[in-house]
Amino acid sequence: MALNYSKETLKHFRNPKNIGEIKNPDAFAEVGNMVCGDQLAFTLKVEKNKIKDIKFLSFGCASNIATASVMTEMVKGMTLEEAKKFDWNKIVGELEGLPSQKVHCSVLAVEGLKKVILNYEEKNKK
Amino acid sequence: MNIYLDNAATTRVDKRVIKKMLPYFDNKYTNASSIHFPGQENDIEINNCKKEIASVLNGNSQNIVFTSGATESNNLIIKGVMRANVNKGKHFLISAIEHPCVMESARELLGEGFEFDYVPVDKNGVVVLSELEKKIRPDTVLISIMAVNNEIGSIQPMIEIGKIAKRNDIYFHTDAVQAVPYLKIDIKKWQVDFLSLSAHKFYGPKGVGLAYIDKNIKIRPIIVGGGQEDGIRAGTYNLPGIVGMTEALKLSYQERDSYLKEVRNIRDYFWQEIKKKIKNINLNGDLKNRTPNNLNIMFKGIEGEAILIDLSLKGIHVSTGSACSAQNLRTSSVIKALGVEDDYMNSNIRFTFGRYNKKSEVDYTIDKLIKTVERLRSFTPIK
């Protein structure tokens, strides 16, 4: 079982989209940890109940970076309800497959997405 | 660009070695176990190889058993010696930084009622001799401690371990796969009863290695069949491999002095430069007590595999630990054994230099490494 990243994964690893931090974000969330070797920090901007902007920071492997990159691209413009139902399989599809031992990276990215939306909802409870 | 800085994983075969091997695929292809004359000629060649190897290692040529490599040798020696000597006891010792093939052989024996303990290492990856002595029991049969660690290149005190083993009437095995030609392997001086080598680690072919086995000690074979190697290891002799390994070993020691100097120069130059140019890096292990081909560096705040892939995309090929770790993505048990904090377990890169690396390649690597580290640090959430 060797590591064989798809061209698409390597492309997102080399030039990740939405990398960085949003200034004055509406929400923030962190998932994973250094011990496991993958940590993601998301910042979120919401407008009219839709994801206006989402950015991430990564301490992680190539697929950790690529999955967060492709996911943030895909969820931009979604309503929060849509984004909460976002399926990690879509990331794997968009990246043209992930090595089996790296599929958990896509699950972590989605976990981070849900957590940052939850943080937003908690802050904006009426 | 194709810069190979993973020479502890494997090496490029020396052209002189290939030349020596070729006739054994072609007109000297006979089975060395055959009774006819061409077969017997190859049998004589095998014995000549054993004599040459024994003289390099300062051992007895009768004790050399050819295998497919050190993984097989380590399996054979650890399992074979323990299983054959239950009258002496069922306990053995291995260091905490052994290669997975030693670790897994040991764990397999647990299921058969054997017991083992790990001998811990200090922060530089050297076994603690006082701990070794403490862990010896009346029923300890075998001590297995590698000569040189594969991830951090730390050199183990072979002579001292040999003395402790002899004093306590315990057999001593060393996996010396990373030691050629960095240490002057000396079977008599080290007082080892068993030793493992793989040819591909010293510019020889893959798929061939040896197990040095003191024939006065009982051992149970793992591979049985046609009775080759006095019944210790069955299977048709791998003539091209054996001839290639012998040549590679001879050349490695003939050219040892100049090679060690060159590889050390390149390694030290690389370390001095990146130490100056990249902040927040640490050397895992000690610079002195390690082989001159190895560096294992912690890049704080970024993840090792990301560094590896980024460098590999630029044509520079390194490793995050042993090549085996890429198979299962587990963190390194070696780095853990050094007492490195959990938070830094995933930020380490092994650079292993070799005979074919040039200074210009090292300069290119320094330049690209700086950029890789800068890029990955630009978006890390770690403060």
What DSSP element (H or E) covers B317?
Answer: strand B316-317
> Is there a cis peptide before residue B181, judged by omega within 30 degrees of 0?
yes
B-chain CB neighbours of A57 within 8 Å are 379-381
* Per-residue confidence (pLDDT) for residue B224, from 0 to 100: 97
The token pair at B196 is 């493992």
* Per-residue confidence (pLDDT) for residue B327, from 0 to 100: 47
A-chain CB neighbours of B375 within 8 Å are none
Mean pLDDT of B314-333: 71
Partner-chain contact B303 A60, CB within 8 Å: yes
| Coil, helix or strand at residue A31 | strand
Q: Is B326 on the interface with A (CB under 8 A)?
A: yes
B-chain CB neighbours of A112 within 8 Å are none
* Per-residue confidence (pLDDT) for residue B1, from 0 to 100: 85
Q: Checking DSSP bridges between strand B91-95 and strand B115-119, what pairing results, if any?
A: parallel
* Per-residue confidence (pLDDT) for residue A125, from 0 to 100: 84
* Per-residue confidence (pLDDT) for residue B322, from 0 to 100: 53
Look up the pTM and report it.
0.95
pLDDT at B247 over 90: yes
- The DSSP code for B35 is S
Cβ atoms of residues B170 and B136 within 8 Å? yes
The token pair at B151 is 């991830």
* Per-residue confidence (pLDDT) for residue A1, from 0 to 100: 42
**Residue of chain B whose alpha carbon sits nearest to that of A63:** B306
Mean pLDDT of B241-259: 98
Residue range B13-31, pLDDT digits in tens: 999 999 999 999 999 999 9
Mean pLDDT of B25-41: 97
B-chain CB neighbours of A34 within 8 Å are 342-346, 382
**Residue of chain B whose alpha carbon sits nearest to that of A1:** B327
d(CA B229, CA B67): 10
Partner-chain contact B346 A64, CB within 8 Å: no
In angstroms, what CA-CA distances link B331 with A31, A36, A103, B346?
Answer: 19, 8, 18, 7
ipTM of the complex model: 0.94
A-chain CB neighbours of B326 within 8 Å are 2-3
Q: Is B303 on the interface with A (CB under 8 A)?
A: yes
**Residue numbers of A between 50 and 79 with CB closer than 8 Å to B:** 56-62, 64-65
Residue range B155-172, pLDDT digits in tens: 999 999 999 999 999 999
* Per-residue confidence (pLDDT) for residue A35, from 0 to 100: 81
In angstroms, what CA-CA distances link B130 with B90, B161, B164, B319?
Answer: 22, 10, 10, 33
pLDDT at A109 over 60: yes
d(CA B351, CA B366): 12
Sheet arrangement for strand A50-59:
A27-33, A38-47, A50-59
Question: Which contacts (CB < 8 Å, 24+ apart) does range B32-39 have?
Answer: B32/B236, B32/B237, B32/B239, B33/B226, B33/B228, B33/B236, B33/B237
* Per-residue confidence (pLDDT) for residue B325, from 0 to 100: 47
Mean pLDDT of A55-68: 96
Q: Kindly give the interhelix angle for B37-57 and B239-254, rounded to the nearest 10 degrees.
A: 30
Mean pLDDT of B356-379: 98
DSSP string, B321-362: SSTTHHHH-PPPHHHHHTT--GGGTT-EEEEE--TT--HHHH
* Per-residue confidence (pLDDT) for residue B223, from 0 to 100: 97
Residue B330's pLDDT band (cuts 50, 70, 90) = low
Residue A4's pLDDT band (cuts 50, 70, 90) = confident
| Annotation marks residue B101 as catalytic | no
pLDDT at B326 over 80: no
Residue range B159-214, pLDDT digits in tens: 999 999 999 999 999 999 999 999 999 999 999 999 999 999 999 999 999 999 99
Partner-chain contact A58 B381, CB within 8 Å: yes
Closest to B230 measured CA to CA, from B211, B205, B209, B207: B211
Closest to B155 measured CA to CA, from B97, B211, B210: B97
Q: Kindly give the interhelix angle for B256-277 and B359-378, rounded to the nearest 10 degrees.
A: 30
Mean pLDDT of A32-58: 94
Q: Is B364 on the interface with A (CB under 8 A)?
A: no
Mean pLDDT of A59-71: 96
d(CA B119, CA B95): 4
In the set B234, B324, B366, B370, the catalytic residue is: B324
Sign (positive or negative) of CA dihedral A90, A91, A97, A102: negative
What distance in Å separates residue B328's CA from the closest CA in chain A? 8
Partner-chain contact B313 A14, CB within 8 Å: yes
Partner-chain contact B327 A1, CB within 8 Å: yes
Residue range B102-132, pLDDT digits in tens: 999 999 999 999 999 999 999 999 999 999 9
